[in-house]
Amino acid sequence: MTAQKRGRSAHKKSYAWRKKGYKSPVLQAKTQGFRPQQWLQNHGFPYMIIDILAVISFTDKLLKTSSEKVTIPYEVIHSNILLFRIQELEEKFNKKLISMDQLFKAANMLKTSHQPLAVNILEKYGIQPDHLVKGVFCPECGAVLMRWANKTWHCVKCHCYSKDAHLAAINDYILLYGNQMTNKQAREFLKEESRHVLKRLMKKAGFTIIGYKKGSIYQLKMRY
């Protein structure tokens, strides 16, 4: 299936068509519906029909199939039709299959069973650790020139100041290396030489400490 978008030149006022091919959106949606369906059954919940829709968010795209003999699947719609299609589904599936207690139980089980995908970003994209730009980035101008002084991060470029600019850098560290960090690693990544400053910043952020003295490790969590 292809989607075509018509664009207009501002100078010539002429129209041109841009075409882009996609894999079957219906097949993708069915796969995404099949997985939670199987998960629920494997955890003792009754079989439930999961109907699917493939929604095209840009209404200015015209959908075409690879052949005139093939029609656009009923499940593929533009976003402006979504509300009406949901109303159709509500009329079609009007029988209660599970109680609210079961629904809350399923939601809690899904939440507790969730495991974030662990991806080694550096290895995946072939990035060497020494190629990374380390330090605390300024939240205003984006420069990696912030320095810690008088209990505040100061940008030497735009002179902005912040008390928690380091949290964004720690979030980056989590995505790159994982959720554990030593004081030494924190100093190297944030470009702050004082181990006492880092200790206070980590404590204030509420990170759990595992171990004792030089063997201690901070258990990190995303902070915003």
What is the pTM for the complete model shown?
A: 0.56
For the chain, what percent of residues have pLDDT higher than 90? Answer: 50
Quick check: 215 and 202 in contact, CB under 8 A?
Answer: no
Same-domain pairing of 88 and 187: no
Q: How many domains does the chain have?
A: 2
Q: Domain with 134 in it: what CATH number?
A: 1.10.10
Hey, is 161 helix, strand or coil?
A: strand
pLDDT per residue over 30-54, tens digit each? 999 999 999 999 999 888 888 999 8
Same-domain pairing of 14 and 109: yes
The last residue of one of the domains, among 113, 143, 161, is: 113
The last residue of one of the domains, among 58, 87, 113, is: 113
CA 212 from centre of chain: 34
The last residue of one of the domains, among 113, 144, 179, is: 113
Which range marks the domain in which residue 208 is found? 121-219
The conformational region for residue 126 under phi > 0 = left, psi -120 to 50 = alpha, else beta, is: left
Residue 185: phi and psi, rounded to 5, are -65, -35
